[in-house]
Amino acid sequence: MIPPAPCVLSVERLEKSFGDVRAVDGISFHVAQGEIVGLVGPNGAGKTTTINMILGVLEPGGGKIEIEGVDLAADRSRALSHTNFAAVYAPLPGNLTVEQNLRVFGMLYGVSDLSERIEKLLAAYDLMRYRRTKAGVLSSGEQTRLSLAKAMLNRPRLLLLDEPTASIDPSNARDIRAGIAKFVDNGLCGVLWTSHNMYEVQAVCDRVMFLSHGRIVLEGDPKTLPEEHGAASLDDLFVNVAQEALYAAGGR
C-alpha cells in the first residue's frame, strides 16, 4: 500500500467574519504534496478570503493554518518561505522591469541561485524579450506570465493560484496549465487553485471543493463529481450547487 503523501497545507476550522457577514465559516481541508486542489464557488463565496488568510495577509477569526507543519500564526515568515502565489488582482509593481521584479522578489524569498533561476523562468514563461520592459506596460497576459514566473521563483512547496489564467488566451492558458502540472509532478509541491473556468478545473485538478457562503458544500474528483450528482458537466454542477446554496441562504 502506498502511504499517503504528506500535507503541505492543513486548514482546520478556519473562520473569518467582516462585521455581521461570515465570509469563511469554519472550513477544514488539506492539500497534499503533488496534489492540485480546485477551490471553486460563486463570487463572494469566500475563496479569496481563504487564500488571503493562507498568505498571512488577513488574520483569521478562528481556526488554524499549517504550511508544511509550520503554524502560520506562530511563525509566519518560516511558513511563507516555501509558499508563493499568483493572483489576477495582484500585478507586480509596474514601475520595475520584468527582471527587476524577479530579482526583488527572489531576494525576498531568499532564492540562493537567483540569477540562474531568473534566466530559467524568463525562458520558461516566454519573458526573455521583455526582461528590460517595465511590468506596467506589459499586456495583461504578459503580466500574468510574470506573476506566474514570480510564483515559481522559490520553487514553492505550496502554490496558491487565484484565477491564474483569467487574462490569458486559450493557447497560452493551456501551456501554463501544462507547466504548472509538470512542476507539481515532481511530487514536492501542492497547489490550491481557484477558478471560474470549470474546464480548467476538470483538466488540472485532482480534487475540487465547492465553496458557498463560506462553507465547503461539495468535494470530490472533478472528473467523476458531475456524474455522481446527476449533472451533465462540472459547469452544470457548479450552477446547481450555487443556486441550491442561494436558496438555502435565502431560507435561513
Partner 1 sequence: MNVSRVGAIVVRMFYLYRGSPQRVFPIFIFVAIDVLVWGFLTRYLNSVSHADFNFVPALLGAVLLWDFLTRVMQQITMALFEDVWTRNFLNFFATPLRTSEYLAGLLVVAVITSLMSLIAMLILARAAFGLSFLTYGVAIAPFLMVLFVTGIALGVAASALVLRLGPASEWLIWPIPMLISPFAGVFYPVTVLPGWMQAVALILPPAYVFEGMRSVVAGHAPPWDRLAIGAMLALVYLALACLFFFATYRVVIRTGLIARYSAETVT
Question: Pattern of binders to partner 1 over 62-81, x per CB under 8 A?
Answer: --------------xxx-xx
Residue 158 pairs in a beta bridge with: 83, 190
Residue closer to partner 1 (CB basis): 145 or 207: 145
Residue closer to partner 1 (CB basis): 21 or 123: 21
Residue with cell 477558478: 195
Among 58, 70, 181, 188, binds partner 1 (CB under 8 A): 58
The CA distance from 62 to 134, in Å, is 40
Total residues in contact with partner 1, by rule CB under 8 A: 32
Least distance in angstroms from the C-beta of 116 to partner 1: 16
> Which triple of cell numbers denotes residue 12?
482546520
Residue closer to partner 1 (CB basis): 109 or 193: 109
- In the three-class reduction of DSSP (H, G, I as helix; E, B as strand; rest coil), residue 138 is classed as coil
On whether the CB atoms of residues 222 and 207 are closer than 8 A, the answer is yes
Least distance in angstroms from the C-beta of 100 to partner 1: 5
Q: Which of residues 193-252 bind partner 1 (CB under 8 A)?
A: none
Instruction: Choose the stretch contacting partner 1; rule: CB under 8 A; options: 49-57, 187-195, 228-236, 242-250.
Output: 49-57
On whether the CB atoms of residues 33 and 190 are closer than 8 A, the answer is yes
DSSP state of 97: B
The CA distance from 195 to 225, in Å, is 17
Among 59, 185, 227, 228, binds partner 1 (CB under 8 A): 59
Least distance in angstroms from the C-beta of 171 to partner 1: 27
- State the pairing for strand pair 70-71/7-18: unpaired
Among 5, 32, 70, 96, binds partner 1 (CB under 8 A): 96
Among 6, 26, 34, 56, binds partner 1 (CB under 8 A): 56
Residue with cell 480546485: 38
**Closest to 227 measured CA to CA, from 236, 215, 216:** 236
On whether the CB atoms of residues 146 and 126 are closer than 8 A, the answer is no
Contacts with partner 1 by CB under 8 A lie at: 18, 49, 52, 55-59, 76-78, 80-81, 83, 85, 87, 90-97, 100, 103-105, 107-110
